[in-house]
Amino acid sequence: MDITIKNEGEKTLVTLNGRLDTTNADQFQADIQPLMTSPKPDIDIDCSGMTYTSSQGLRIFLSLQKSVLARGGKMVMLNMNPQVKEVFDITGFSNIIAIR
């Protein structure tokens, strides 16, 4: 799993590549830590290269979404592949996280 985080003005663009699973979930959690503190976050997460997520990944996305909402910010996940999207649909995450 590769992650890049870029700040473009007010917006933060996160790009995910590869499989998010039990081997790298802790690292992912650590990598996105800076996003948990900015005052009014506006985050786009490009998922076009993310091929897989397990519940380990889901819990991190939910924590991030909770934290973003609590700070009055917004977060959108973009270009999700159909298999990953199905995981978000089945778990109800499609209703609580914006996906475009």
Partner 1 sequence: MKKRFNPIKDKSSEIIEFLMASPDMPTDETLCFKIRLSVEEAVENVVRYAYEGGIGWLEAGTSLDKDTLILTIELRDAGVPFNPLDREDPDITLSAEEREVGGLGIFLCKQMMDSLNYRYEDGNNILTMTKKINK
Interaction site with partner 1 (CB under 8 A) = 21-23, 52, 54-56, 58-59, 62-63, 65-66, 69, 83, 87, 90-92, 95-97
Instruction: State the minimum distance, in angstroms, from the CB of residue 93 to partner 1.
Output: 8
Between 14 and 75, CB nearer to partner 1: 75
Contact 26, 56 (CB under 8 A): no
Kindly give the residue spans of alpha helices, DSSP state H, lying in the chain. 25-31, 55-70, 82-90, 93-96
Between 6 and 18, CB nearer to partner 1: 18
Instruction: State the minimum distance, in angstroms, from the CB of residue 66 to partner 1.
Output: 6
Rounded Cα–Cα distance for residues 7 and 28 (Å): 18
